[in-house]
Structure 1
Amino acid sequence: FQSRVPHQFPLILGWEASGTVHTVGKDVTSLKKGDRVYVYCRKPTLQWGSWAEYLTFPAEHGALVPTNLSMAQAAGVPLAGLTAWQALFDKANLQPGEVVLIHGGGGGVGSFGIQWAKLHGSSIITTASAPKFEYVKLLGADEMIDYQKHHFVDQIRCSYPSGIDVVLDTIGGSVYRQSYEILKPGGRIVSLREQPDLDLSQKFKVRAEYLFVSPNGKQLQTITKLFELGKAKPPIVHQMPLDQAPLAIEEIKKGHTTGKVVLQVMSHQVYFR
């Protein structure tokens, strides 16, 4: 990860946040002081992140917090919500009626990916541990595969002998490489972890993409509307005080968290990694 992200020390971590606008630039008209906002605020070089009491960001990257979400819930939306959106629609060009496999459906990106795909009229298969089945089904998953007991390639080949249309890979490694095997010719695989494997793409006649999510205020505004219309469910959030950030990092590294870990800076300002 460090090799892929330009960074500079001293370094404050964090790429997404929710909070209250304190000051706006003289040309900003979309936001005003006192607005509740959330934002994916990654800059070209990681140095001054969101794990802080104050941060700055281009107004066009932010959006108003959905009126029916708490600040803690909102803090867990931008990074995962935008990642899933851009992976499925900008990269994979997912179509209604297509079948998509979303690896890690119980995680942050996976939980939003399931919802966006379901709202789009697609059929969703997801890998998850058995304790998370009820959660991912509530989000809209049509078929769940317990990755701890069953191999997803075998399971999908039984249900879809001709292959499926799209894979959203949040895992990488062998899971990514094996995912090519269950795509039909012309299928698409989007990975958040791996660069496209040209040999596998040619062998299975599929299109492979890599995604590093970009800030996008317009997409975030669309996501806001989905929440306010009751069409999207907020992530499960696990709140921790900022001074427990090292512990939060360790929990995230384990890779078994359901939903998002949120760091609370002040009672009215919540920031996530």
Structure 2
Amino acid sequence: MKAISYARYGGPEVLEYGEVREPRVGPDSVLVRVRAAAVNPVDWKCREGYLDAVLEPVFPVVPGWDVSGVVVRPGAAVTEFRAGDEVIGYVREDFLSRGTLAEYVAAPVRTLARKPRNLSFEEAAGLPLVGLTAYQVLYKALAVKRGETVLVHAAAGGVGSIAVQLGRYLGARVIGTASERNHDFVRGLGGEPVTYGEGLAERVRGLAPEGVDAVFDTVGGDALRTSANLLAPEGRLASITDDDVVEYGGRYCFVRPDAEDLLRLSELAEQGVVSVHVSETFPLERAADAYRRNQEGRTRGKIVVTVAGDDGPPG
């Protein structure tokens, strides 16, 4: 089957398009015909070796954790899905090897949920990782309540844009940092935009003089330090990028696959609560260009790779 893969750590230049071995389907997995796969910053961080201490690579590595597609064949123990079912998945395992930037992926059932019927395959592919991240931070780590004020960093990005929508659904007031060119986009999601950078603390205090009840940090560094000083008494702080958050009494969060959470996100998408903005798509053979664009760090919403090919299963 055709896929993107890399045989060593490095930049986008190590990515190759070509034939790789066909995936084996275990008893608790299903074979998914990939229709689209989203690009995430964690993908290139893995490719460059930044997560080597926690995720062992089995080269050649097919990158990608997000997927939308169609079930081709369920494993022997699988009762949750049948051939022909449309699914989405955050297909992350505890090692790097069998990713989603391929014509087919063998996905453990614990990583999958049914695809939202109202989203295209491209939109649906952009939901799992960012949606689960936003959901698990807001609902679990921060336990946001109705009437609270939440500060979301990088509110126009993949995670941030979903966090704004979920925060509003929870009944919170959401303030979101974004460049001025993305202020209207953030307003359209239901957030109150503020420009990031120098003077951020003063701008946020102008909107929330008593402080904010919760901060969702997706940036780290200076933004994290500033955020710690913007909390109201009993305020909560969580970061997905900077483990120094624990020094400020906050929580470091790493998203995990959860079929129940993912199904809930699919339901919220069908209810119109959550939408996915796809800024750009690339064909599979140009995935390296998609990662180059993602590494520029100014993406509004999601970048998605589309997969085309014959409809027959491998083997």
Does 2:181 match 1:139?
Answer: no
Structure 1: unaligned runs, 5 residues or longer = 202-206
Deviation of the 1:237 alpha carbon = 4.0
Deviation digits for residues 133-156 of structure 1 (CA, Å, limit 9, x no counterpart): 111111110x211225x6221112
Alignment correspondent of 2:14: none
Q: Is the 8 A contact 1:72 1:237 kept in 2?
A: no
86, 97, 117: which one pairs with 1:47?
97
Q: Which residue of 2 aligns with 1:250?
A: 292
Is 1:108 paired with 2:150?
no
Cα distance in 2 for residues equivalent to 1:167 and 1:268: 46
**Which deviations, in whole Å up to 9, do the C-alpha atoms of 1:201-235 show, x marking residues without a partner?**
2xxxxx40111100011111111111212222222
Distance 2:215 2:89 in 1: 27
**How do 1:192-211 and structure 2 match up within 5 A?**
192-199=240-247, 201=248, 207-211=249-253
Q: Which has the higher contact order (CA 8 A, sep 6+)?
A: 1
Mapping for residues 6-155 of structure 1, pairs under 5 Å: 6-8=55-57, 9-141=59-191, 143-147=192-196, 151-155=199-203
Most deviating of 44-53 and 109-118? 44-53
What's the counterpart of residue 207 of structure 2?
A: 159
What is the CA-CA distance between 1:89 and the residue it aligns to? 1.2
Distance 1:183 1:65 in 2: 37
User: How far apart are the structure 1 equivalents of 2:164 and 2:230?
Assistant: 19
| Count of aligned residue pairs for this structure pair | 261
Distance 1:197 1:114, change over 3 A: closer
Secondary structure (helix, strand or coil) at the match of 1:29 reads coil
Distance 1:87 1:33, change over 3 A: same
- For 1:217, the equivalent position in structure 2 comes to 259
Distance 2:269 2:223 in 1: 32
Distance 1:209 1:249 in 2: 29
1:73-111 deviations in Å (ceiling 9; x for gaps): 100000001000011111111111111000011100000
Residue among 180, 191, 208 paired with 2:239: 191
Q: Point out 4+ residue stretches in structure 1 off by more than 6 angstroms.
A: none
What runs of 5+ residues in structure 2 fail to find an aligned partner?
1-44
Q: Does 2:275 align with 1:233?
A: yes
What is the Cα-based RMSD across aligned positions, in Å?
1.7
- In structure 1, the residue matched to 2:42 is none
Q: Which shows bigger deviation, 230-239 or 122-131?
A: 230-239
3-12 vs 178-187, greater mean Cα deviation: 3-12
Shift, 1:18, TM fit: 0.5
Counterpart amino acid of 1:84? A
Shift of 1:267: 6.7
| Counterpart residue number, 1:204 | none
- Equivalent AA in structure 1 for residue 264 of structure 2: T
CA separation of 1:136 and 1:253: change in aligned 2, threshold 3 A: same
1:31 deviates by 0.7
Once the two structures are TM-superposed, the CA of residue 72 in structure 1 deviates from its matched residue by 0.6
CA distance in 2, matches of 1:80, 1:153: 26
Q: What fraction of aligned residue pairs are identical, expressed as a percent? A: 36
Taking the aligned partners of 1:63 and 1:268, their CA distance within structure 2 comes to: 24
